[in-house]
C-alpha cells in the first residue's frame, strides 16, 4: 500500500507499507486515532507531498504541517526514489551503515526499505545525489510512533521518570530516531550531549573562527624604539631637553614609545584556547565513534573532514602571535557581542552545559522504547514498594546506580550492581534487583546471593525479595517481574500479554533455586512470576481476565502497566501490598511448591522431629496435649536467634520435665506471633493432628537405640533414632 508520494524537482519518492491497515487499527485501538499524528517537514525543491488517507482518499501535506502518522515501530517500509535522467550516484544518507546497505541505486532508481524496530521519535530520510558536478542533499522529516503507547504523552512521562531517578540513563547513540532537547545550566555535560550539541553548531563555529582570523580584533601596544629627530611625528615632553641638547647632531637617536597593533588580546587568547579544547575533544570522540560497527562510511568521512578543518585552523599563523589563555578577569563585551567572537563564546558555553528533554533545537537520541519501558517498570515497582513500606526516598539504599556502556551511554547495573535495599529502623524489609543473570556459578557478581540455576542461565528483568521475620530471621520471599513491551491481542476489551512471556515465568520459577551454602540441598525459591506489559482496559474487565485470575490460582499472571493509567496501576499496588502484609505461613500455604512446604506423601530431606518440653505458662491445658487431644501446641521463645526453620518441623512429641513421651503429633501448620510478655515475647503456635501413641511410654534421656523396640512405624523410628533431628526447645 502506497502511503506517501513526494514530487521533487529531481525525483519522485514513493513510501509503502504492506500491512499498514493492520498496524494503523492496532495503534488506534491502543492509543486512539487522535494521538496518531506526525509533523512533516522537508528541504527545498519539493513540489508536493501527498498522503493516502485511511479511507483511500489523497491529502496534500504542507511543509511543517501536522497530519496523521505514517511511520510506526516494528513495521517495514519499502521506499522507491525514481530520479530524473540527469541524476547520478544517488545513495541513502543514514549514519547507520546497515540502513545504507538496505538501499541500492540502479538504472536511475534508488530502492530499499526501512524498519525502525523499537526506536520511536523524530527521524529523517536523507538522500544524497549528484547533478553534474554538484552534490545535492534532500531531507524528509517525520515522527515515528509507537503502536502500544502514546508517543506524545507516555514516552515523555517514561523519560521524565527515568531521568528524575537516573540522570542520563535514557540517552543512547546511533539510533534511527532522535528527540529535541535544550541545554540546561545545571548538572554535568555527558559526552553524548557534547557531541550532539557540537553537531548542530560545528558549521557556525568554524565559520566564526574563520571570520575572526580574517578580521581579528586587536589592540594598540606600546613598544620602545629609537629614531632620529627628523623621524619624530610629535615631540614627547620627556625628550624635549634631550632634543635641545643634541640639536646639532642629526644622527642622534631618541628613545620613544611607538604604538603598534597587536593580536595578543584576551579575546584572541580565549579563541585559541576554545579551538584547541574543542578540537582535542572532537578527535577523542571521533576515534570512539569510528569503533562502532554500525557507523556508516559517509558519516566517517564527514567526521574526518571536520577534524581536518579544526586542525588546519589551529595551525593558522595568526595564532603564533597569540599568547596562552589565563582566564577572564572580567566580563568581555567583545566575546558577548562582537561578530564571530559571540558565536565562538556561545558554542563553548553550550558545550559545558547539561541537557533537558523539552523539545529544544538540539538532537538527542534515546534508548529504544522496549528498554525504556523495562527500566521504567523497575522504577515503578521500586516506588510502589517504597511507598507501601513507608520509607522516605532518602532512606533507600542504592548499591550502584549506573555503569558506562559503549561509546557514550550509561546502563543500569545488573544483578547486585543495581540492588535497591529498603530498610526501616535498621531492619531490612525488602530488596529489588534489576536484570540479574542467574547461572550455574554460585554467587556470581551479576546474580543474587544464594540463588542458583543448575541448568541454563536465566535472566528475569526485576526480582523482588520481601524479607520476613515471623518464622525465622531474614527469611526472603522471592517474586519475579518481567517487563514486556508487547501486546498479544485483545479479549473482551482488554489487552492481553504475550503467551510466550507467561510461559517464561513458569520456566523461571522451575529453574531458579535457593541454596543456603555449598553443601546444602537445593530448595524451590521463586514463589510467583508476573508480566508487566503496556496493556489497556477497564479495571473491572482486567480483574476478570484470565491472565489476572491465574495470579490467585498458580501465582503466575500479568499486570497491565502504562504511564498515567492509575486504575490498572492500583491492581499492582494492591497485589504487592498483600504480599507485604501476609505472614510467611500464609504465603507458603498458597505456594506450589516452595521451600518450607512439603508433600503429604513424602517427607522433606531436612524435616525436623521435635521433642518439645511443654511450658504451662503458654499452654492452657497441658494434660490434653499429653493425652493426644490437643489441636494446637504453643511454644514460647525469647528472641529471634538463628535456629532451625520452624516450617521444617513435621512431628512434635510433647513432654513435661520428669515425664514420659506418650506419643507424637503431626504438624499441620506453624505460625509465629509477638506478645507483650517479658519471659517469652515470641509465641510459636503449631496446629497439630494425627496423634500416634507409642506402644510403651519412653522417658526422654535414655539411649536412643533402646527405643527401636518401641517403634511400630517409620515415623516413630525417625523420631527416636535420627541423630541430627531430635532437639528440645529450638
pLDDT over threshold 60, residue 340: yes
pLDDT-derived band at 259, boundaries 50, 70, 90: low
pLDDT for 318: 87
pLDDT for 354: 64
Range with top average pLDDT, 202-206, 445-449, 513-517 = 202-206
Question: Is 188 part of a structural domain of the chain?
Answer: yes
Q: Which residue, among 436, 477, 439, 475, has the nearest Cα to 459 in the 3D structure?
A: 436
Antiparallel, parallel or unpaired: β 608-613 and 649-655: parallel
Question: Is 595 part of a structural domain of the chain?
Answer: no
pLDDT for 704: 37
Which residue has better confidence, 397 or 112?
Answer: 112
Grid coordinates representing 400 are 550502584
Q: Which residue, among 60, 70, 84, 76, has the nearest Cα to 19 in the 3D structure?
A: 76
The mean pLDDT value for 639-658 works out to 68
pLDDT-derived band at 247, boundaries 50, 70, 90: confident
Q: How many domains does the chain have?
A: 5
pLDDT over threshold 50, residue 87: yes
Question: Is 34 part of a structural domain of the chain?
Answer: yes
pLDDT-derived band at 187, boundaries 50, 70, 90: low
Lowest mean per-residue pLDDT among 308-317, 318-327, 636-645? 636-645
**Where do we find the cell 492500583?**
570
The DSSP secondary-structure symbol of 471 reads S
Residue range(s) defining the domain that contains residue 690: 608-721
What DSSP string runs through 330-363? S--HHHHHSTTHHHHHHHHHHTTSEEE-SS-SEE
Lowest mean per-residue pLDDT among 295-304, 650-659, 699-708? 699-708
- Do 660 and 675 fall into the same domain? yes
- Do 420 and 401 fall into the same domain? yes
Grid coordinates representing 297 are 562510511
Which residue has better confidence, 645 or 48?
Answer: 48
pLDDT over threshold 70, residue 615: yes
pLDDT for 696: 66
Lowest mean per-residue pLDDT among 20-24, 86-90, 152-156, 196-200? 196-200
pLDDT for 77: 95
pLDDT over threshold 90, residue 647: no
Q: Which residue, among 127, 26, 41, 19, has the nearest Cα to 83 in the 3D structure?
A: 127
- Do 515 and 396 fall into the same domain? yes
Lowest mean per-residue pLDDT among 587-601, 659-673, 686-700? 587-601
- Do 506 and 571 fall into the same domain? yes
pLDDT single digits (tens) 41-64: 999 999 999 998 777 788 999 999
pLDDT for 713: 43
pLDDT over threshold 60, residue 267: yes
Last-in-domain residue among 525, 556, 590: 590
Lowest mean per-residue pLDDT among 337-341, 359-363, 545-549? 359-363
pLDDT single digits (tens) 200-225: 888 889 999 998 888 887 665 566 78
Distances (CA, A) of 110 to 76, 84, 292, 412: 17, 11, 26, 41
Question: Is 157 part of a structural domain of the chain?
Answer: no
The mean pLDDT value for 639-643 works out to 48
pTM reported for the whole predicted model: 0.70
Cα–Cα dist 270/274, whole Å: 6
Rama region for 34: left / alpha / beta (φ>0; ψ in -120 to 50; rest): alpha
Grid coordinates representing 82 are 525514481
pLDDT for 92: 94
- Do 69 and 207 fall into the same domain? no
pLDDT for 590: 60
- Do 190 and 335 fall into the same domain? yes
Question: Is 714 part of a structural domain of the chain?
Answer: yes
Question: Is 176 part of a structural domain of the chain?
Answer: no
- Do 568 and 701 fall into the same domain? no
pLDDT for 556: 92
- Do 206 and 231 fall into the same domain? no
Percentage of the chain exceeding pLDDT 70: 78
- Do 257 and 269 fall into the same domain? no
Q: Phi then psi for 567, rounded to 5 degrees?
A: -60, -50
The mean pLDDT value for 351-371 works out to 75
Distances (CA, A) of 472 to 583, 610, 627, 639: 12, 17, 30, 10
Which residue has better confidence, 558 or 192?
Answer: 558
pLDDT over threshold 90, residue 409: no
Last-in-domain residue among 308, 340, 364: 364
pLDDT single digits (tens) 555-609: 899 999 999 899 999 999 999 998 888 766 566 656 654 444 443 334 444 556 6
- Do 411 and 542 fall into the same domain? yes
Average pLDDT, the chain: 80
pLDDT over threshold 70, residue 401: no
Q: Give the CA diameter of the chain.
A: 149
Grid coordinates representing 246 are 643634541
Cα–Cα dist 411/402, whole Å: 6
pLDDT single digits (tens) 423-442: 777 677 788 888 776 555 55
Percentage of the chain exceeding pLDDT 90: 30
Which residue has better confidence, 425 or 498?
Answer: 498
Helix (H) or strand (E) holding 188: none
Question: Is 424 part of a structural domain of the chain?
Answer: yes
Which residue has better confidence, 321 or 78?
Answer: 78
Which residue has better confidence, 379 or 450?
Answer: 379
pLDDT-derived band at 356, boundaries 50, 70, 90: low
CB neighbours (10 Å) of residue 83?
21
Cα–Cα dist 210/212, whole Å: 5
- Do 422 and 568 fall into the same domain? yes
Which residue has better confidence, 473 or 320?
Answer: 320
pLDDT for 601: 37
Question: Is 621 part of a structural domain of the chain?
Answer: yes
pLDDT over threshold 80, residue 40: yes
pLDDT for 729: 34
- Give me the CATH number covering residue 613: 2.30.130
pLDDT single digits (tens) 522-544: 666 778 899 999 999 999 999 99
pLDDT over threshold 50, residue 709: no
pLDDT over threshold 80, residue 714: no
- Do 226 and 85 fall into the same domain? no
pLDDT for 241: 80
Amino acid at each position: 500500500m502506497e502511503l506517501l508520494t513526494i514530487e521533487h524537482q529531481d525525483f519522485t519518492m514513493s513510501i509503502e507499507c504492506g500491512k499498514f491497515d493492520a498496524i494503523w487499527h492496532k495503534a488506534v485501538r491502543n492509543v486512539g486515532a487522535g494521538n496518531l499524528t506526525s509533523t512533516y517537514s522537508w528541504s527545498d525543491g519539493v513540489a508536493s507531498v501527498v498522503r493516502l488517507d485511511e479511507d483511500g482518499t489523497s491529502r496534500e501535506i504542507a511543509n511543517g504541517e501536522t497530519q496523521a502518522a505514517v511511520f510506526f515501530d516494528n513495521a517495514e517500509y519499502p521506499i522507491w526514489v525514481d530520479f530524473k535522467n540527469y541524476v547520478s550516484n544517488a545513495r541513502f544518507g543514514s549514519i547507520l551503515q546497515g540502513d545504507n546497505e538496505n538501499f541500492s541505486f540502479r538504472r536511475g532508481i534508488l530502492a530499499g526499505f526501512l524498519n525502525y524496530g523499537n526506536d520511536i521519535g523524530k527521524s529523517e530520510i536523507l538522500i544524497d545525489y549528484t547533478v553534474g558536478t554538484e552534490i545535492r542533499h534532500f531531507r524528509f522529516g517525520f515522527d515515528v510512533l509507537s503502536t502500544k503507547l502514546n508517543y506524545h504523552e507516555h514516552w515523555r512521562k517514561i523519560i521524565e521518570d527515568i531521568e528524575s531517578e537516573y540522570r542520563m540513563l535514557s540517552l543512547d547513540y546511533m539510533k534511527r530516531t532522535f528527540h529535541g532537547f535544550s541545554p540546561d545550566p545545571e548538572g554535568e555535560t555527558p559526552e553524548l550531549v557534547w557531541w550532539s550539541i557540537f553537531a548542530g553548531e560545528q558549521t557556525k563555529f568554524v565559520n566564526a573562527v574563520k571570520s575572526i582570523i580574517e578580521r581579528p580584533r586587536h589592540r594598540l601596544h606600546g613598544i620602545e624604539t629609537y629614531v632620529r629627530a627628523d623621524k619624530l611625528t610629535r615631540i614627547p615632553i620627556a625628550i624635549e631637553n634631550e632634543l635641545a641638547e643634541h640639536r646639532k647632531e642629526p644622527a642622534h637617536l631618541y628613545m620613544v614609545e611607538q604604538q603598534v597593533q597587536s593580536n595578543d588580546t584576551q579575546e584572541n587568547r580565549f579563541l585559541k584556547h576554545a579551538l584547541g579544547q574543542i578540537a582535542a575533544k572532537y578527535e577523542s570522540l571521533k576515534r570512539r565513534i569510528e569503533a562502532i560497527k554500525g557507523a556508516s562510511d559517509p558519516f566517517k568521512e564527514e567526521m574526518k573532514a571536520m577534524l581536518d578543518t579544526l586542525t588546519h585552523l589551529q595551525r593558522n599563523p595568526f595564532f603564533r602571535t597569540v599568547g596562552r589563555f589565563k582566564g577572564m578577569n572580567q566580563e568581555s563585551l567583545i566575546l558577548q557581542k562582537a561578530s564571530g567572537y559571540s558565536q565562538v563564546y556561545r558554542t563553548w558555553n553550550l558545550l559545558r552545559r547539561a541537557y533537558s528533554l523539552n523539545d529544544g533545537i538540539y538532537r538527542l537520541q534515546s534508548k529504544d522504547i522496549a528498554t525504556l519501558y523495562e527500566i521504567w517498570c523497575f522504577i515503578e515497582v521500586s516506588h510502589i514498594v517504597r511507598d507501601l513500606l513507608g520509607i522516605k526516598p532518602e532512606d533507600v539504599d542504592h548499591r550502584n546506580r549506573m555503569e558506562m556502556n559503549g561509546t557514550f551511554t550509561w546502563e543500569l547495573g545488573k544483578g547486585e550492581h543495581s540492588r535497591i535495599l529498603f530498610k526501616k529502623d535498621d531492619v531490612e524489609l525488602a530488596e529489588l534487583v534489576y536484570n540479574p543473570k542467574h547461572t550455574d556459578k554460585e554467587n556470581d557478581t551479576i546474580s543474587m546471593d544464594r540463588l542458583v540455576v543448575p541448568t541454563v542461565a536465566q535472566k528475569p528483568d526485576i526480582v523482588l525479595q520481601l524479607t520476613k521475620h515471623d518464622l525465622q530471621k531474614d527469611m526472603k520471599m522471592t517474586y519475579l517481574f518481567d517487563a514486556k513491551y508487547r501486546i498479544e491481542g485483545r479479549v473482551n476489551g482488554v489487552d492481553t500479554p504475550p503467551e510466550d512471556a507467561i510461559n517464561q515465568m513458569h520456566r523461571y520459577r522451575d529453574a531458579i533455586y535457593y541454596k543456603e551454602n555449598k553443601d546444602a540441598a537445593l530448595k524451590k525459591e521463586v514463589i510467583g512470576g508476573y508480566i508487566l506489559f503496556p496493556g489497556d482496559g477497564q479495571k473491572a474487565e482486567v480483574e476478570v481476565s484470565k491472565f489476572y485470575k491465574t495470579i490467585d490460582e498458580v501465582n503466575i499472571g500479568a499486570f497491565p502497566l502504562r504511564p498515567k493509567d492509575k486504575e490498572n496501576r492500583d491492581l499492582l499496588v494492591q497485589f504487592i501490598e498483600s504480599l507485604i502484609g501476609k505472614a510467611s505461613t500464609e504465603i507458603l500455604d498458597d505456594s506450589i511448591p516452595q521451600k518450607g512446604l512439603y508433600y503429604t506423601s513424602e517427607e522433606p530431606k531436612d524435616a525436623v522431629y521435635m521433642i518439645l518440653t511443654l511450658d504451662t505458662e503458654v499452654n492452657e491445658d497441658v494434660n490434653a496435649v499429653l493425652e493426644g487431644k490437643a489441636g494446637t501446641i504453643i511454644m514460647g521463645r525469647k528472641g529471634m536467634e538463628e535456629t532451625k526453620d520452624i516450617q521444617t518441623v513435621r512431628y512434635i512429641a510433647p513432654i513435661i520435665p520428669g515425664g514420659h513421651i506418650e506419643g507424637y503429633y503431626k504438624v499441620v501448620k506453624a505460625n509465629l506471633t509477638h506478645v507483650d510478655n517479658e519471659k517469652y515475647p515470641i509465641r510459636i503456635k503449631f496446629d497439630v493432628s494425627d496423634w500416634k501413641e507409642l506402644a510403651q511410654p519412653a522417658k526422654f534421656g535414655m539411649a536412643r537405640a533402646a527405643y527401636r523396640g518401641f517403634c511400630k512405624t517409620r515415623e516413630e523410628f525417625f523420631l527416636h533414632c535420627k541423630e541430627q533431628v531430635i532437639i528440645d526447645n529450638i
